[in-house]
Amino acid sequence: MMSWIEDYGVAITSSAFTHQGYYRQRNEDAYLDQSPRCFWAVCDGMGGHRAGDYASQWIVRQLADVDLSDRLGGSVQNIKRCLLDCNRHLWGYSRANQLGQIGATVVALLVQSGRAVVIWAGDSRAYRLRNGQFRQMTDDHSYAHELAKATGRQPDFSQPGNDAITRAVGACESLSLDCLVMEARPGDSWLLCSDGVSGSVSADRLEELLSAGRAQAELIVDEALQNGSRDNCTAVCVRIQGSHLRAPSSSTEYM
């Protein structure tokens, strides 16, 4: 999908693909690909919990209708408010239907007013490729990664339960979202993906595939499946093309 953003002299192309995988009975991943609105998201229903597919699909449907303001700050607040509303709905839905704990991770990307905004909860990831530098922009909300940040050591997934996520939309009565705002530049490429992809494809290989050209999302998901991913696999790829983009006043900040 391609969109031309006249105000900033850039074209934005995107591709998106999801696969149930070969070891799961249903696909609990979902994605949003709205290039005309410069808005994308990936959700991953919590594995092992009932109605994970309902949770991820509900979040994507609500994000698809979120009001994106003419001002960046308004858009960001509306996205956050939408996700908090989703959290309340899913928390209430699980209680009303006696489903126990349900929920979904989310990572969303918005490009607006010369900036890129990433909002997330859980371990679905956003990566950025810029000038040959491939970087994970999100921090996983998992016990292993939070312990690693506290101790300064590498994440240890060998201990039972360390791979459990610590945040997800709908999993708890309250929800904390992380938000990163940075300059958007022509030539930037973005990858949003579920952990079925990030857990099965190395960062070096993701960089190669993201640089490959058309239909990167399907190539990346296919790679994860070929590598034996035992989860649902979803990828959304975004590329900003053009000669100029109005620069924001600062480079990177959290909101």
Could you tell me the domains of the chain?
2-127+167-244 (3.60.40.10)
Question: Would the pLDDT of 251 be above 50?
Answer: no
d(CA 126, CA 107) in angstroms, rounded, equals: 7
Over residues 74-99, the mean pLDDT reads 95
Question: Would the pLDDT of 143 be above 70?
Answer: yes
> For 170, which DSSP code?
T
Query: Quick one: pLDDT band at residue 119, thresholds 50, 70, 90?
Result: very high
- Burial label for 224, CB within 10 Å (0-12, 13-18, 19+), is buried
Structure tokens at 202: 């190395």
pLDDT the model gives residue 254: 44
pLDDT the model gives residue 249: 43
Over residues 11-36, the mean pLDDT reads 95
Give yes or no for a contact between 128 and 137, defined as CB atoms under 8 angstroms apart: yes
Give yes or no for a contact between 141 and 165, defined as CB atoms under 8 angstroms apart: yes
Question: Would the pLDDT of 98 be above 90?
Answer: no
**148-198: per-residue pLDDT in tens?**
666 666 655 555 556 688 999 999 999 999 999 999 999 999 999 999 999
Strand partners, 192: 126, 236
* Contacting residues for 112 by C-beta, under 8 A, at least 6 apart: 38, 68, 72, 75
Over residues 217-244, the mean pLDDT reads 93
Which among 215, 182, 244, 238 has a CA at the least distance from the CA of 38?
238
Question: Would the pLDDT of 82 be above 50?
Answer: yes
- pTM greater than 0.85 (yes/no): yes
* Contacting residues for 153 by C-beta, under 8 A, at least 6 apart: 147
Strand partners, 12: 3, 240
